[in-house]
Amino acid sequence: MDHPLRAPLEIEFAYTRSLGPVLSRFMTALAGRRILGARGADGRVYAPPFEYDPVSSEPPGELIEVGPEGTVVSWSWMPEPLEGQPLAEPFAWALIRLDGADTAMLHAVDAGPAPAMRTGLRVRPRWSASRVGSIRDIACFEPCDAPPSGGAGTGGEASTGGEAAAVTGTITPVRLSYMHTASPGESAYLRGLAGRRLLGQRCGVCGQVYVPPRGTCPADGVPTREEVELPDTGTVTTFCIVNVG
């Protein structure tokens, strides 16, 4: 029996979403070096702010400025950063409870080459030199006892040029790299393609032939073990037109 095929796969796309009234104010404030939280019906301050109260299910009635400093409540060390992560050198992912908030937000902490990372560490944001209204406007957090990093602010003043324009949407790059192991049916199908053959599988109950093979009939829930070789001609049953800008 042939072994299942394996190959590295990568899925990548830019995810675009509108922010809505609450997250729009949150992101706009970040462009001005301010961090906002929301006061809930239970009296707690949630930062980042919720779009709908976890207790009352209502939108927040009040947004409150919190931080910018805070305390690390939990963390995990990243000894070998991956491509696209906030820092190129080892850092910590941390849950940070900002001053004035009752919940914690997730962000990166640059604890330095001799890591001072610990629960209870006091940290402050290292602001990006260029801010657009994104969670990445906070480049990372750093220990409060460290000297401010050059080229980026650490809080206090608002961005120059007056009130920032409202940020109404965000584009987030999504990327997933993984090793895919094909099922026996998929492996047979791919090996067939290498030999210029189209192979499907037939359900022994309803007689439907599936190509590519699914391994199990979705209608009857039984394994599709009968292999069927198909001709290299067929009929278009539905289509869409892709317009590439």
Is the predicted pLDDT of residue 83 greater than 90, yes or no? Answer: no
Q: Which helix (H) or strand (E) element contains residue 31?
A: helix 20-31
Q: Does the N-terminal peptide bond of residue 60 adopt cis geometry, omega within 30 degrees of 0?
A: no
Band the pLDDT of 147: cuts 50, 70, 90.
low
For residue 132 the two structure tokens come to: 């657009």
CA 138 – CA 26 distance, rounded (Å)? 12
Confidence of residue 185 (pLDDT cuts 50, 70, 90): confident
- Neighbour tally for 213: CB within 10 Å: 23
Q: How far apart are CA 47 and CA 43, in angstroms?
A: 13
pLDDT value of residue 163: 54
Using CA atoms of 192, 198, 199, 205 in order, give the dihedral in degrees to the nearest 10.
170
Please report the DSSP string for 33-70 in residue order. Answer: T-EEEEE-TTSPEESSPPSS-TTT-SPPS-EEEE-SSE
pLDDT at 1: 59
Q: 39 has which bridge partners?
A: 45
Q: Of 3-7, 71-75, 132-136, 223-227, which has the strongest mean pLDDT?
A: 71-75
Q: Which helix (H) or strand (E) holds 28?
A: helix 20-31
> In this model, does residue 88 exceed pLDDT 80?
yes
Question: Quick one: which of 91, 103, 101 has its CA closest to 143?
Answer: 91
Nearest Cα neighbor of 198 from 242, 229, 173, 241 is 229
**pLDDT of residue 245 exceeding 90:** no
Q: Reduced to 3 states, what is the DSSP secondary structure of residue 204?
A: coil
At 197-236, the pLDDT tens digits run 999 999 999 999 999 988 899 999 999 989 999 999 999 9
Higher pLDDT, 62 or 191: 191
Q: For position 152, what pLDDT does the model report?
A: 42
Choice among 12-21, 159-168, 216-225 with the minimum mean pLDDT: 159-168
Confidence of residue 149 (pLDDT cuts 50, 70, 90): low
Whether the CB-CB separation of 19 and 169 falls below 8 Å is answered with yes
Average pLDDT value for the chain: 87
HSE of 194, CA atoms in CB hemisphere, 13 A: 7
Whether the per-residue pLDDT at 134 is higher than 70: the answer is yes
pLDDT of amino acid 173: 84
Q: Work out whether the CA dihedral 211, 215, 218, 223 comes out positive or negative.
A: positive
